[in-house]
Amino acid sequence: MLVDEAGRIAAVGPDAAVPTPPGVPMERFEDAVLMPGLVNAHTHLELTGLGGAVREASFPDWIRKLRQVKSERSYADFLAAAKQGIRDCWAAGVTTVADTGDSGAVIEALAELDGRGVCYHEVFGPHPGQVEESMAGLRCRVEELRRFTSERVRLGVSPHAPYTVSRELYRAVATWARQEGLPLAIHLAESPEESALVGEGAGPFAEMWRRRGIPVDAGEGKTPVAWVDELGVLGWDTLCIHMVQASEEDLRMLAQRGSAVAHCPLSNRAHSHGTAPLKAIRRHGISVGLGTDSVVSVGTLDLMAEAQVARSVAALDASESLELATISAARAIGWGSQIGALEPGRRGDIACFDVAAADPVESVLAATGSRLTIVEGRAVHRR
C-alpha cells in the first residue's frame, strides 16, 4: 500500500504492483493484516477513566448518579480524559470516533492530537419552559467550538434523549441544526423506561419528571421513534444511538428517512435494556455502525469485543462483523466516501493487526489491540 504526501491512499495491492517512490519511508509487517482504520460510531470519551464510578441498578438512577459524578469534574479533567480516550481508541485500531458529550473537551482533544471524528454537542431541557435558555446555551457553545473544526474534525449537536429533552426543544434543535448544516445524534429507543415515558406518560422517568414539576405528556401510545419523527428529528443527517426497543414500523420509518444507527451491544447488555434488532436493521438497509458507548457503562473501548457480540446476535459471518466497525460505520456517521475501506483516493486511515489464526479476519476479531494505527498517513500508535 502507498499513502501519498496528502495522507490519501495512492495504491493498494501486491507488493510488485504498488509503486515505491524514491525517498518514501517503507515498512514491512510479517504475520500481520492491514485493515481500514476502525470507526467507533458512539463514544463518550470525556468519561474515560470513570469505569466503575456508577453502579446504580436502575437505569434512571444510573443516569442521575452519572450527572452527579460529571458535575464534580473540572474541564481540565474532561480534557485529560478525552485525550486518554482518543489514545486508547488508537491503541485499539480505531481511527475515527463519533462522540457525544456536553463539556466540549473531545473536540478540543481531537484538534490538539490531530485525530479524526465528529463530536455531537449535547443539549438538555426536559421542561418546555427551558427551550430559550437551552437554545441560547447551545448556540453560544457551538459557536465557541467551531474553532476546533477542520477536514478531520466535525461538529454536530445531540438533543440527548426523550427523557431529558422536551418536544419543544427537539423541534427547536432539529430546525436550528439543519439551518446551520450540523448533523444530529440522539439516544433513542434505548430502554423500556424511555418507552413507558413516551408512550404512556408512566414509569420511573415520568415519576422523576413529576417530582421536578416537569409536565409529562399524556402518552399517546407512540414509540420513541415515531414521537421524535413527528417532531422533525429524523432525517438523512440523524444518527440514532441504541435502538433496542425498535419495532418493524420504527425501522421502516428510519429507512424512509435515511437515518442511521449506532449499535452498542455490550452497553445494552450491561444496562439490561435488551437486544437491539440488528438483523432487522440490516435487512431494512439502514446504515449501522458499532459503538462502545462510555467506559462508565462497559468499562472498555474495545470495538472488537462489540463486533463479536454483534456477530452472535445477528448470526453474521466474520467479514460482516468487521464491516460494522469499518465501512458500514463510516457511512452511518457521514464519512462513507472518505474512510472505512482501503481504496485509492480514500483517506490513509489504516490499522495493522497481528495474524494469530489461519483466517486473518478471525484474527482481527479476536485482537486485543493494533500493532500500528495510522490517521491520514501519520502513525498515531505503535506497539
Q: Which are the contacts of 263, defined by CB distance < 8 A and separation ≥ 6?
A: 41, 242, 243, 276, 278, 281, 288, 289, 290, 291, 306, 310, 324
Q: Which amino acid is at 16?
A: A
Whether 373 is covered by a domain: the verdict is no
Range of the domain at 172: 39-344
pLDDT score for 3: 95
pLDDT score for 315: 94
3-state SS assignment for residue 8: strand
Whether 14 is covered by a domain: the verdict is no
Distance separating alpha carbons of residues 325 and 330, to the nearest angstrom: 8
Whether 32 is covered by a domain: the verdict is no
pLDDT classification of 95: cutoffs 50, 70, 90: very high
pLDDT per residue over 21-73, tens digit each? 998 889 899 889 999 999 999 999 999 999 888 888 789 999 999 999 999 99
Q: Which are the contacts of 55, defined by CB distance < 8 A and separation ≥ 6?
A: none
pLDDT per residue over 282-304, tens digit each? 999 999 999 999 999 999 999 99
- So which residues are the catalytic ones? 190
Domain count of the chain? 1
Evaluated on CA atoms 282, 287, 291, 293, the torsion sign reads negative
pLDDT per residue over 220-259, tens digit each? 899 999 999 999 999 999 999 999 999 999 999 999 999 9
Whether 360 is covered by a domain: the verdict is no
Whether 380 is covered by a domain: the verdict is no
Distance separating alpha carbons of residues 51 and 292, to the nearest angstrom: 13
- How many Å is the maximal CA-CA distance in the chain? 71
pLDDT score for 57: 78
Whether 381 is covered by a domain: the verdict is no
Whether 226 is covered by a domain: the verdict is yes
Whether 222 is covered by a domain: the verdict is yes
pLDDT per residue over 316-370, tens digit each? 999 999 999 999 999 999 999 999 999 999 999 999 999 887 888 898 998 889 9
Query: pTM for the complete prediction?
Result: 0.97
What's the CATH code of the domain at 126? Answer: 3.20.20.140
E strand segments, 102-152: 116-123
Q: Cα dist. 350→114, 324, 359, 367 in Å?
A: 15, 16, 19, 15
pLDDT score for 55: 81
pLDDT per residue over 111-167, tens digit each? 999 999 999 999 999 999 999 999 999 999 999 999 999 999 999 999 999 999 999
What is the DSSP secondary-structure string of 222-254? --HHHHHHHTT--STTEEEEE--S--HHHHHHH
pLDDT score for 102: 97
With 0-12 CB in 10 A as exposed, 13-18 as middle and 19+ as buried, what is 136?
exposed
Distance separating alpha carbons of residues 223 and 228, to the nearest angstrom: 9
Q: For the chain, what is the mean pLDDT? A: 95
pLDDT score for 295: 94
**274 has pLDDT over 80:** yes
**218 has pLDDT over 80:** no
